[in-house]
Amino acid sequence: MAFEYLKSLSGGMDRSCVLSELMGAYGEDVWNYAFFLTRDHALSDDITQDVFVKVYEKMYSFRGESSVRTWLLAITRNLVRDHWRSAWFRRVIPFGSPKREEHGPSAESLAVSSLVTEEVWAAVLALPRKLREVLLLHAHHGLSHAEIAALLDLSQGTVKSRLSRARVKVSKELDREGGERT
């Protein structure tokens, strides 16, 4: 769906209708990105909800300088970062990034498992956040190097370097795991 009309939204348009369309088109992408950054189902739900609340509030300020998907992912990333910086989060989880809670398989994990093996995702999730984020945005969300650079406020060279390092680390991890089985 092309949401080109968002560039020219005015106060007369029904924001609820536009929000509903955006949630239908990009809700899963926003949740998946939040999950890959946080590795927490409940927190991803909360952040996804917060993203669309913020979109509802700021809908008329969309300038169209990026695609709608990139705009939503940037809001998602900023809300995750805000959460990590919050005083509550630092008091409750004092060491490093959040740990993944063990839950039953989600619909997202079932869909992912049909596309790739469990080992690949384990290797990707084991990557440092900087590398995992670039790899996810490129491979899963299909963003170009330029879009990733703009989203993460990095140079394209840094994006290419991180993407290359992420691929090498995943390959090495998969080679290591493959060698342990035989």
Burial class (CB in 10 A: 0-12, 13-18, 19+), 11: exposed
Residues 110 and 97: their CA atoms lie apart, in Å, by 25
Residues 7 and 63: their CA atoms lie apart, in Å, by 6
Q: What is the CATH number of the domain that holds 119?
A: 1.10.10.10
Residues 5 and 173: their CA atoms lie apart, in Å, by 45
Residues 50 and 164: their CA atoms lie apart, in Å, by 32
Domain range for 127: 114-181
Q: Same structural domain for residues 32 and 103?
A: yes
- Of 74, 93, 109, the residue at which a domain comes to its end is 109
Q: How many structural domains comprise the chain?
A: 2
Which pLDDT score is estimated for 115?
Answer: 43
pLDDT at 108 over 60: no
Q: Same structural domain for residues 148 and 68?
A: no
CA proximity to 39, closest of 111, 126, 151: 126
More confident position, 179 or 79 = 79
Burial class (CB in 10 A: 0-12, 13-18, 19+), 17: exposed
pLDDT, one tens digit per residue, over 74-102 is: 999 999 888 877 755 555 544 444 455 55
CA angle 12-15-19, nearest 5°? 155
Residues 5 and 176: their CA atoms lie apart, in Å, by 49
Mean pLDDT to the nearest integer, 152-163: 92
pLDDT at 129 over 90: no
